[in-house]
């Protein structure tokens, strides 16, 4: 039993991610929600989206994936919107291994994470190479967990590189040292204490550590491959990109959810070059890139750090069918369909 049609509903949460995946089978449908959050999104908007998710899924979510605990990915799971999602009775809730093992990660956005911990029948904490937990609810779909790696698998996630001309999309000049912003220093001190207690001293900066804890999922359904990497940055990707078999698996990706809202270091050029369906020509099998973002929230265009990064967006628009929530205006969502047979 295999699905014959895939559709994706990308919600207009502003700067954040919210994707409802639908797999259509001959006699039933399955729905997976990946993330639900928006930076500074009003609860009224999140509640509208939650009601649409419940309506579009027929009141039943088969799985919820919270890729990582940043506000712009999970604040929709708190409050009234979270209650609506919980009423859809997801069978499986998938989160990164860090939320199972590390107190610090569980301390971020506690209300949303608390709701996530109560709404599922089964919970899976994913890491590179683990089972996704989705196989029970998505028959005929192969789901590969590409990230996050554990610290034993890769120490790369412990370091935030500032320069990599071969991988990043036009870096700005700097002194090569990551600086902790003043408002985040207390978090860094707390993280250092927790790391020392748990012998995980490599996590040093909040944003980088949390982004690199993102669950990365590759769905293979029929003849299609669908890649959802959350906010994973290059340090998380390195473990996968060093393995020829996994690189080969990524070559035929049909739909790519652009990492970290289009930041300069979340779509490594070595990953982008793997996608064999990149093309400047319009045709049915051309790569689809889905970007959920809003300009003016992060970074500085004068330094080449704005999100979304202009050079990356130009490349996405040139070499794929780019679908961006930034173009939605007042519309609540956009839909994408792919035949799987």
6 forms beta bridges with 23, 338
216 forms beta bridges with 147
Residue 177 CB coordination number (10 Å): 6
178: pLDDT strictly greater than 50: no
pLDDT in tens, 249-301: 999 999 999 999 999 999 999 999 999 999 999 998 999 999 999 999 888 88
Contacts (Cβ under 8 Å, ≥6 apart) of 307: 15, 260, 261, 262, 263, 264, 293, 295, 297, 298, 299
Q: What DSSP state is assigned to residue 339?
A: E
pLDDT at 252: 95
Long-range contacts (CB closer than 8 Å, 24 or more residues apart) made by 129-137: 129/153, 130/97, 132/94, 132/217, 133/63, 133/92, 133/94, 134/32, 134/63, 134/92, 134/94, 134/217, 136/91, 136/92, 137/30, 137/32, 137/62, 137/63, 137/91, 137/92
User: Residue 335 CA to chain centroid, in angstroms?
Assistant: 18
pTM for the complete prediction?
Answer: 0.88
The count of structural domains within the chain is: 1
Distance CA 169, CA 312 (A): 6
145: pLDDT strictly greater than 70: yes
pLDDT at 105: 80
| C-beta separation of 287 from 256 below 8 A | yes
pLDDT at 198: 40
Coil, helix or strand for 101? Answer: helix
pLDDT in tens, 215-230: 999 999 999 999 999 9
Helix, strand, coil percentages, rounded to 5, for the chain: 30, 20, 45
On average, the pLDDT of the chain sits at 88
Q: What is the mean pLDDT of residues 229-258?
A: 96
| C-beta separation of 291 from 8 below 8 A | no
pLDDT at 177: 38
pLDDT at 161: 55
pLDDT in tens, 314-332: 999 999 999 999 999 999 9
30 forms beta bridges with 23
189: pLDDT strictly greater than 60: no
H or E, element range at 43: helix 43-56
CATH number at 284 reads: 3.60.15.10
Q: In which domain, by residue range, is 274 found?
A: 5-339
Long-range contacts (CB closer than 8 Å, 24 or more residues apart) made by 41-45: 41/13, 41/14, 41/16, 41/75, 41/76, 43/79, 43/80, 43/81, 45/13, 45/14
pLDDT band at 163 (very low <50, low <70, confident <90, very high): low
User: Residue 225 CA to chain centroid, in angstroms?
Assistant: 16
pLDDT at 107: 80
pLDDT in tens, 41-98: 999 999 999 999 999 999 999 999 999 999 999 999 999 999 999 999 999 999 999 9
Long-range contacts (CB closer than 8 Å, 24 or more residues apart) made by 156-162: 156/235, 156/236, 156/238, 156/239, 157/202, 157/209, 157/212, 157/213, 157/235, 157/236, 158/202, 158/203, 158/204, 158/235, 159/202, 159/235, 160/204, 160/205, 160/208, 160/233, 160/235, 161/234, 161/235, 161/265
């Amino acid at each position: 039993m295999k699905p014959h049609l895939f559709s994706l509903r990308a919600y207009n949460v502003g700067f954040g991610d919210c994707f409802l995946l639908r797999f259509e089978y001959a006699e039933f449908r399955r729905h997976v929600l990946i993330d639900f959050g928006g930076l500074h999104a009003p609860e009224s908007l999140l509640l509208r989206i939650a009601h649409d998710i419940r309506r579009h899924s027929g009141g039943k979510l088969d799985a919820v994936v919270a890729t990582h605990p940043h506000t712009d990915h999970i604040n929709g799971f708190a409050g009234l919107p979270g209650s609506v999602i919980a009423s859809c009775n997801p069978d499986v809730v998938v989160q990164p291994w860090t939320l199972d093992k590390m107190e610090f990660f569980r301390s971020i956005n506690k209300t949303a994470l608390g709701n996530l911990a109560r709404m599922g029948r089964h919970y899976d904490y994913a890491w590179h190479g683990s089972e996704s937990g989705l196989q029970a609810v998505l028959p005929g779909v192969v789901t590969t967990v590409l990230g996050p790696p554990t610290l034993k698998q890769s120490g790369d996630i412990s370091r935030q590189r500032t320069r990599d001309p071969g991988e990043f999309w036009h870096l700005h000049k700097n002194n090569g040292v990551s600086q902790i912003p003043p408002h985040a220093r207390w978090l860094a001190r707390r993280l250092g204490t927790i790391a020392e207690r748990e012998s995980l001293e490599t996590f040093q900066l909040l944003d980088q550590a949390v982004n690199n804890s993102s669950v990365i999922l590759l769905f293979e359904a029929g003849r299609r491959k669908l890649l959802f990497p959350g906010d994973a940055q290059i340090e998380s990707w390195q473990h996968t990109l060093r393995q020829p078999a996994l690189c080969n698996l990524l070559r035929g990706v049909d739909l790519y959810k652009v990492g970290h809202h289009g930041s300069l270091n979340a779509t490594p050029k070595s990953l982008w070059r793997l996608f064999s369906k990149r093309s400047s020509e319009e045709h049915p099998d051309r790569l689809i890139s889905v970007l959920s973002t809003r300009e003016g929230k992060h970074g500085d265009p004068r330094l080449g750090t704005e999100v979304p990064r202009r050079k990356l967006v130009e490349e996405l628009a040139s070499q794929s069918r780019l679908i961006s929530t930034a173009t939605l205006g007042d519309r609540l969502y956009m839909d994408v369909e792919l035949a799987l047979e």
